Amino acid sequence: MSEIQEAVRRLIRGEAVRVYRIHPQLVALWVANHERNVRDGFYKPWEGIRYYGRSPSACRVYSPVAARTLELRDELHFFGVMYLERLGVSQLYETVPLLPREATGVTARELGLTCPRYRDSDEERILTTSLVATRYEAGGQAQQLAIETRYAGEVAGRCRKAVRCDLAIQQAYWIARGATWRLLTDLDLPAQRYRNLAWLRLPWLLTRGEWPQAELHRYAARFCVAWAQDLSLGQILDRLAARHGGTRQQQFGGFACAVWADALRLDLEQERLNLKRPIRFAQRDGR
């Protein structure tokens, strides 16, 4: 049995896979598969990223922007998806390879850098960007956004030269293609804030069609009137239902959409949102 076949067998059984040498033929197969998928209109994230095994923090999340389930590397990757969804992007792709392969080699040489290589291999690594999205400006002009999500600890320190080379090549690659590239770390995407948004994401997905933007601002105004410092979120929703009709669940859908659209600005970084806890407004709202 070849080492690649052995790796596949162990992955199917859910076992850990040790690092195998990356062969040029395998990389060429990944590129061919990716190009075929893109050509057929069936996008899949870069295959090579999964060769060393699935990360324990990897997750699969449905995105209405992409209209499919995304395969995400870790929690921070998911936070990046929510960041882009709240920006109002219209297209979204995850783990996008920087192709053609020769382009990154040229970019690296122009920057005076050496292209990173696969572990235990002389093969140049095909770099990927965490998220690529398209956003339409007010005038209808399309803007491409390339977002790389990394934990701050991966980027800082003297032992992170390969990571910094990777980021520099990515930035130059996307700028040369007219895109806006940005690095987002866990300092830019605070865990508590985005975990609270993740809690609201499902009701937002289920009810967003029922709450146009103008109605969200009216809902936010009603919520502020019903709010009291000693009331829990559940009690406020019950008060709204009694005053304006509907059920607690329907009011919760409006609450989720209002927070998601930033019509209702809460302090999302202090504590985990819960129906049994009071709600605190962001300081700038003067509450």
Least confident of 33-42, 164-173, 246-255: 33-42
pLDDT at 160: 77
Last residue of a domain, one of 184, 201, 227: 184
Average pLDDT over residues 152-173: 86
Least confident of 30-34, 96-100, 233-237, 242-246: 30-34
Please give the mean pLDDT across all residues of the chain.
Answer: 87
How far, in Å, are 63, 140, 239, 250, 260 from residue 255 at the CA level?
20, 30, 13, 9, 8
Q: Is the pLDDT of residue 250 over 70?
A: yes
Contact 216, 257 (CB under 8 A): yes
Residue type at 135? R
Contact 127, 169 (CB under 8 A): yes
Claim to verify: residue 180 and residue 273 sit in the same structural domain: no
pLDDT at 14: 52
Distance of CA 71 to the CA centre of its chain: 10
pLDDT at 4: 58
Claim to verify: residue 200 and residue 153 sit in the same structural domain: no
Q: For the chain, what percent of residues have pLDDT higher than 70?
A: 88
Least confident of 57-61, 92-96, 205-209, 272-276: 57-61
Q: Please state the pTM of the whole predicted model.
A: 0.87
Per-residue pLDDT band at 225 (split at 50, 70, 90) = very high
Average pLDDT over residues 70-83: 96
Q: Output the domain CATH number for residue 102.
A: 3.40.1350.10
Claim to verify: residue 214 and residue 267 sit in the same structural domain: yes
User: What are the tens digits of pLDDT across the range 44-62?
Assistant: 898 776 665 566 778 999 9
Claim to verify: residue 151 and residue 19 sit in the same structural domain: yes
**Taking the CA of residue 216 as centre, how many other CA atoms within 13 Å lie in the half-sphere pointing to its CB?**
20
Contact 90, 97 (CB under 8 A): no
DSSP string, 55-106: -TT-EEEEETTTTEEEEESSHHHHHHHHHHHHHT-SEEEEEEE--SHHHHHH
pLDDT at 99: 93
Contact 132, 145 (CB under 8 A): yes
Average pLDDT over residues 162-177: 93
233-272 as b/e, with b when 16 or more CB fall inside 10 Å? bebbbbbbbeeeeeebebbbbbbbbbbbbebbebbbeeee
Claim to verify: residue 101 and residue 226 sit in the same structural domain: no
Q: Is the pLDDT of residue 5 over 70?
A: no
pLDDT at 140: 81
Question: Cα(173)–Cα(150) distance, rounded to whole angstroms?
Answer: 18
Per-residue pLDDT band at 277 (split at 50, 70, 90) = very high
Q: Name the residue among 55, 51, 95 with its Cα closest to residue 74.
A: 55
Last residue of a domain, one of 160, 184, 208: 184
Q: Is the pLDDT of residue 287 over 50?
A: no
Bigger pLDDT: 286 vs 88 = 88
Q: Hey, which residues does 246 pair with through a beta bridge?
A: none
Claim to verify: residue 133 and residue 209 sit in the same structural domain: no
Tokens of 104: 């990154």
Claim to verify: residue 39 and residue 82 sit in the same structural domain: yes
Claim to verify: residue 74 and residue 37 sit in the same structural domain: yes
Range of the domain at 179: 3-184
Bigger pLDDT: 237 vs 16 = 237
| Domain count across the chain | 2
User: What are the tens digits of pLDDT across the range 10-38?
Assistant: 545 555 445 456 778 888 888 998 999 88
Per-residue pLDDT band at 158 (split at 50, 70, 90) = low
User: What are the tens digits of pLDDT across the range 81-116?
Assistant: 999 999 999 999 999 999 998 889 889 999 999 888
Last residue of a domain, one of 184, 214, 242: 184
DSSP string, 253-278: HHHHHHHHTTSS-B--SSS---TTSB
Claim to verify: residue 209 and residue 88 sit in the same structural domain: no
Cis peptide before 97 (omega within 30 of 0): no
Q: How far apart are the first and last CA of the chain?
A: 67
pLDDT at 8: 56
Claim to verify: residue 14 and residue 103 sit in the same structural domain: yes
Claim to verify: residue 33 and residue 91 sit in the same structural domain: yes
Contact 204, 216 (CB under 8 A): no
Bigger pLDDT: 200 vs 19 = 200
Q: Is the pLDDT of residue 145 over 90?
A: yes
Claim to verify: residue 40 and residue 72 sit in the same structural domain: yes
